[in-house]
A = this chain, B = another copy of it.
Amino acid sequence: MINISIIGSGNVANHLAQAFFENKLPIEYIIARNEPEGRTLAKQVKATFVSTHQPIVFHQTNMVIIAVKDDAIEEMGNVLKEVNIPVVHTSGTKSSTLLKDICIKTGVFYPLQTFTKGKNMDFRNIPIIIDSPDVALVTFLKDMASKISDKVVQLTDMERQKMHIAAVFSNNFVNHLWLLAENYCHENDLDFNLLLPLIEETAEKLKTMSPFHAQTGPARRHDLKTIAAHLHLLDVHEMLRTIYKIMSDSIEQNY
């Protein structure tokens, strides 16, 4: 029987708690610094709220998930001191043994997705990357993860870190290109919304073809005239010009 307590009340904590709750995995405590957010979440998933300032006495919990920002994991872990229950965090980068001073059984439970407050997601489709130096805990984590997701993968710390780098390129940098495009549109009195169908289709294409085959544009077809014209127009934008140049060079290197 799995019984979970979650530390945190942010996006990841919310989405994980909802997913466990919807799949009928009981949650004993929501432990959070932010009382209003923690209480709201606890109520939603029929758990008891505990402030991080209070002493915590676990009754049913056999798995604690620390779902907070990377920099706060260790600090939050300290509220658990001398508790002998396995503890995992949800970070893409931090070591699976980060919490080894808090508990002898530690690990990782990293959902590979970008979460938005208030937006429901189909967790079955979200990859969950797990790991632990403890073989029995790996089995437990696989079991727990498979209750909410169909894509459970065990990766080493190094593999997960590299996957996180690939995620930064695929998500963070991609979103930033859209911000650059939006800013450029605004500066030139152009309507960024006109680009939304193109952006949607750009992602849609990946469902049926690899990015290698989906590539189009001036750099893909070695259209040096258009590239030169674009760089000329970007003369007044040092950052955009630099990014345009490096991305075009990188595309040309691949074809």
Question: Which residues of A are at the interface with B, using a C-beta cutoff of 8 A?
Answer: 69-71, 93, 112-114, 116, 119, 121, 125-127, 129, 151, 153, 155, 159, 161-182, 184-185, 188-192, 194-212, 214-221, 223, 225-226, 229-230, 233-234, 239-240, 242-244, 246-247, 249-251, 253-254
The answer, among B126, B165, B223, for a CB contact under 8 Å with A233, is B165
Whether A166 contacts B195 by the Cβ 8 Å rule is yes
Sorted nearest first, the 6 A-B pairs with minimum C-beta distance are A172-B217, A203-B203, A179-B211, A178-B211, A166-B181, A169-B181
Given A93-B229, A169-B180, A179-B210; 19 other pairs, CB 8 A cutoff: A70-B223, A71-B223, A112-B197, A113-B201, A116-B205, A166-B190, A169-B178, A169-B243, A171-B216, A171-B217, A172-B217, A172-B219, A172-B220, A176-B247, A182-B210, A202-B203, A243-B247, A243-B250, A246-B246
Chain B residue nearest to A160 in the complex (CB): B190
Chain B residue nearest to A203 in the complex (CB): B203
